[in-house]
């Protein structure tokens, strides 16, 4: 097994999530007019994906496994970790709020578009900033301060709990449809549309 594999998994998952966010931004920029049915279907699928994988798998790995070890071995990271933990606490609600705003736009019509767009921009910005903070501060600190035992424990736990969108872990039959729907409709960098 690759050493410090958990760091690779975190970076891979960040890359997948960033690609998803960029792809969604592109869709929102293009707007819903050309093919509303397809626009709302893929946007719903993408927000649902974020709720199911990054929110349920990625953040808990960081909050429960990585951050406590980094806080112990590199106490100077406490401030950054506090801020990241606050983001984690709010991000599940943020994606569900966004999904609701999208449904309002879809069901009620154009009068509800601005509310979605106004929430979506800052959501993407803060998510990218969150990952940037992790990659520039917390991951390097982890790399410098964690022990062999820390890495062994992290690598084992991370390996059993990874996001299939990185392409290295099969999503399982229940999610295959979701992924193929996203990939077939979404624009680059996620999909072919
Ligand atoms: Fe995070
Ligand atoms: Fe992260």
- CATH code of residue 158: 1.20.120.520
Tens-place pLDDT, residues 72-101: 999 999 999 999 999 999 999 999 999 999
Q: Among all ligands shown, which has an atom nearest to the Cα of 67?
A: 1
* 191 part of a folded domain: no
182 Cα–ligand 2 center, Å: 22
pLDDT for residue 1: 47
Residue 84, judged by CB atoms within 10 A of its CB (0-12, 13-18, 19+), counts as buried
Tell me the whole-structure pTM to 2 decimals. 0.89
Cβ neighbours around 131 below 10 Å, total: 22
pLDDT for residue 181: 80
- Give the separation between CA 61 and CA 59, rounded to whole angstroms: 5
111 Cα–ligand 1 center, Å: 33
* 160 part of a folded domain: yes
Unique residue bearing structure tokens 């606490």? 89
- Give the separation between CA 91 and CA 24, rounded to whole angstroms: 17
Number of folded domains in the chain? 1
Q: Structural domain of residue 141, as residue ranges?
A: 5-185
Q: What tokens were used for 78?
A: 């406490």
pLDDT for residue 37: 94
190 Cα–ligand 1 center, Å: 21
66 Cα–ligand 1 center, Å: 10
* 35 part of a folded domain: yes
* 180 part of a folded domain: yes
Q: Among all ligands shown, which has an atom nearest to the Cα of 17?
A: 2
Say which DSSP state 152 is in.
H
34 Cα–ligand 1 center, Å: 35
* 41 part of a folded domain: yes
pLDDT for residue 168: 67
3 Cα–ligand 2 center, Å: 19
With CA atoms as reference, report the closest residue to 22 among 50, 64, 57: 50
Residues with beta carbon < 5 A to ion ligand 1? Answer: 62
Q: Among all ligands shown, which has an atom nearest to the Cα of 14?
A: 2
- Give the separation between CA 76 and CA 134, rounded to whole angstroms: 14
The length of the chain is 193
pLDDT for residue 177: 78
Q: Which residues of the chain have pLDDT under 50?
A: 1
12 Cα–ligand 2 center, Å: 10
pLDDT for residue 170: 63
Cα–Cα distances (Å) from 178 to 28, 46, 130, 132, 182, in that order, read: 20, 9, 26, 27, 6
Q: Among all ligands shown, which has an atom nearest to the Cα of 135?
A: 2
pLDDT for residue 94: 96
pLDDT for residue 171: 64
Q: Among all ligands shown, which has an atom nearest to the Cα of 10?
A: 2
pLDDT for residue 126: 96
- Give the separation between CA 153 and CA 141, rounded to whole angstroms: 17
């Amino acid at each position: 097994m690759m050493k410090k594999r958990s760091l690779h998994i975190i970076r891979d998952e960040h890359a997948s999530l960033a690609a998803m966010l960029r792809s969604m931004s592109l869709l929102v920029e293009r707007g819903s007019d050309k093919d509303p049915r397809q626009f709302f279907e893929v946007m719903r699928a993408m927000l649902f994906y974020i709720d199911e994988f990054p929110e349920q798998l990625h953040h808990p790995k960081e909050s429960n496994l990585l951050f406590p070890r980094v806080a112990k071995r590199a106490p100077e990271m406490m401030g950054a970790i506090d801020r990241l933990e606050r983001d984690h606490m709010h991000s599940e609600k943020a994606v569900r709020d966004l999904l609701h705003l999208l449904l309002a736009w879809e069901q009620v019509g154009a009068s509800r578009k601005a509310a979605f767009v106004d929430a979506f921009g800052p959501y993407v910005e803060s998510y990218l900033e969150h990952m940037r903070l992790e990659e520039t501060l917390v991951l390097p600190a982890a790399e410098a301060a964690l022990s062999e035992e820390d890495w062994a424990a992290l690598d084992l736990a991370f390996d059993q709990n990874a996001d299939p969108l990185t392409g290295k872990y099969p999503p399982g039959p229940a999610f295959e449809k979701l992924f193929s729907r996203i990939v077939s409709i979404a624009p680059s960098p996620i999909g072919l549309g």
